[in-house]
Amino acid sequence: MLTGFLHLHSYFAYLVLALLVISVIVALLNVAGNKPFGSLSKISKFAMIATHTQFLVGIILYVMEGRYVDMGEKMGISSERLLALEHPLMMLVGIVLITVGNSKAKKAQTDAQKNKSILVFFGLGLICILARIPWSNWL
């Protein structure tokens, strides 16, 4: 069961990253071309849902693997610290930014404000996520 969740978490990450990159690119093109929010609404919604789903699977993995055990010992080993502390916290920060961006876009009055909200918050969220993916374990 643990292996199944690990594979799900690893492969679903490709979809999450693709949706986030597409959202940021479309938002950038919309801002640069002063285009309507339209299609970005659905893309950004799917990206947010995917990131939340990925985070839930990650929480299940975190508990199943017992990453929270012996935290003091893990702080001295960089690879263990990455998986036990840095990765989960940065993913949480990234997902909060993405959620805030989606919420601001829904409340914004103009298409320009909506596009900028997605561009800024999804962009920052994507940077946080990319910064702490455990690349050596993932690829």
Q: What is the pLDDT of residues 25-50, one digit of tens each?
A: 999 999 999 999 988 899 999 999 99
Query: What's the pLDDT tens digit per position in 54-109?
Result: 999 999 999 999 888 888 888 999 988 999 999 999 999 999 999 999 999 999 99
How many Cβ atoms are within 10 Å of 90's Cβ, its own excluded?
A: 18
pTM for the complete prediction? 0.92
Q: What is the pLDDT of residue 136?
A: 84
Nearest to 34 by CA among 99, 111, 118: 111
pLDDT of residue 68: 85
139: DSSP letter: -
| Residue of 79 and 21 predicted with greater confidence | 21
Q: How confident is the model at residue 139 (pLDDT cuts 50, 70, 90)?
A: low
Distance CA 67, CA 61 (A): 9
For residues 23 and 51, is the Cβ–Cβ distance under 8 A? no
Question: Nearest 5 degrees, angle CA 76-CA 5-CA 41?
Answer: 100
Tokens 């985070």 -> residue: 55
CA distance 54 to 15: 10
Q: Where are the domains of the chain?
A: 2-138
Distance between terminal CA atoms of the chain?
21
